């Protein structure tokens, strides 16, 4: 968000708060849930999108429908000449798209996986301009039903948090879907931090902040504290790889440490120097993810 635009929004919310803190909280939520424009915002993003075009054309595009929205899945078939390594669901972060994860999906297919890369609502090829965590989890549920389940989950940022919540069954009315292995990359560990961080960014007063959190809880159907993936990661009892950079300026490293403290099933790998966005395309990170998922195949074969 540009500094001038942020200043205008803060002033507008402050003025609205004096009239109705409830209205200010709802307005703050609408700002949060409105997805950014899909057009690449930088030269690097345009170059990345251009490089991914050939690869994305190889995918089968599968529309998904769920209660409250639609999404698009991109299915990359496993290579017939390689031993099958399992089906992986890959989910991007906020403001991203499946195409931006092409380096990761290409390597997963090369390693023998069938890969389904999801464009969340309001992102990539999916329609809409709104996305919430419950919508993301319902989209994951729709993909699970459509493709007959997944052996592995792998998600970046908001996508990783959504996959963790889907595995734990934290969204009311959506069944838990537990893969054999789970990978998160630069992902938040709980939603209370997310909305309190939003409140600090927008400089909401206590009453407007309370209204924001109450509105989120009404939409989600559960208290914000219930959406704590790190709190439940140990109960998953499946191997989980958490990749994070200590220099991540968008999702603090404390989230990775919270995941790591959840149980012995969680492995934390630092990818320092790659920040929040470059981490998902970094060769050492992709190599580590491929190796982690390959360990599952070796365990089954044994």
Tens digits of residue pLDDT in 184-222: 999 999 999 999 999 999 999 999 999 999 999 999 999
**Does residue 271 belong to any structural domain of this protein?**
yes
| The pLDDT of residue 218 | 95
**Does residue 285 belong to any structural domain of this protein?**
yes
**Sign of torsion, CA 269 273 279 281?**
negative
CA atoms of 127 and 8, how far apart (whole Å):
28
286 lies in the same domain as 162: yes
What is the three-class DSSP state of 301?
helix
20 lies in the same domain as 137: no
What is the three-class DSSP state of 99?
helix
209 lies in the same domain as 247: no
| The pLDDT of residue 302 | 44
Characterize the bridge pairing of strands 240-244 and 266-270.
Answer: parallel
**Does residue 195 belong to any structural domain of this protein?**
no
| The pLDDT of residue 172 | 95
142 lies in the same domain as 253: yes
CA atoms of 18 and 3, how far apart (whole Å):
23
Q: Which domain holds residue 23?
A: 1-34+203-226
Are 9 and 179 in contact, with CB atoms under 8 Å apart? no
97 lies in the same domain as 81: yes
What is the three-class DSSP state of 117?
strand
207 lies in the same domain as 288: no
- List the end-to-end C-alpha distance of the chain, in Å, as a whole number: 51
Are 273 and 162 in contact, with CB atoms under 8 Å apart? no
| The pLDDT of residue 301 | 46
Q: In the chain, where do the E strands start and end?
A: 60-66, 69-76, 86-91, 113-119, 152-156, 181-185, 240-244, 266-270
Which residue positions in the chain have pLDDT lower than 50? 300-302
């Amino acid at each position: 968000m540009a500094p001038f635009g942020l200043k205008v929004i803060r002033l507008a919310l402050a003025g609205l708060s004096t009239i109705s803190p409830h209205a200010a909280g709802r307005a703050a939520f609408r700002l949060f849930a409105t997805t950014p424009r899909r057009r690449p915002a930088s030269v690097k993003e345009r170059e990345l999108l251009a490089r991914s075009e050939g690869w994305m054309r190889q995918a089968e595009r599968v529309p998904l429908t769920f209660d409250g929205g639609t999404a698009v899945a991109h299915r990359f078939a496993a290579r017939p000449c390689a031993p099958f390594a399992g089906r992986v669901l890959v989910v991007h972060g906020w403001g991203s798209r499946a195409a931006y994860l092409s380096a990761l999906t290409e390597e997963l297919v090369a390693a023998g996986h069938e890969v389904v890369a999801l464009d969340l609502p309001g992102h990539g090829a999916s329609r809409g301009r709104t996305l919430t965590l419950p919508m993301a989890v319902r989209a994951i549920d729709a993909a699970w039903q459509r493709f007959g389940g997944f052996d592995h989950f792998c998600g970046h940022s908001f996508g990783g948090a959504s996959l963790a919540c889907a595995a734990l069954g934290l969204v009311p009315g959506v069944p838990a879907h537990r893969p054999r292995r789970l990978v998160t990359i630069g992902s938040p560990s709980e939603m209370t931090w997310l909305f309190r961080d939003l409140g600090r960014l927008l400089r909401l007063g206590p009453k407007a902040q309370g209204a924001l959190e109450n509105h989120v809880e009404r939409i989600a159907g559960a208290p914000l504290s219930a959406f704590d993936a790190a709190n439940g990661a140990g109960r998953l009892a499946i191997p989980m790889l958490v990749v994070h950079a200590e220099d991540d300026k968008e999702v603090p490293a404390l989230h990775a440490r919270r995941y790591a403290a959840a149980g012995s099933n969680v492995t934390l790998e630092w990818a320092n120097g790659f920040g929040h966005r470059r981490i998902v395309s970094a060769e050492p990170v992709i190599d580590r993810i491929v190796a982690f998922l390959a360990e599952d195949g070796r365990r089954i074969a044994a």
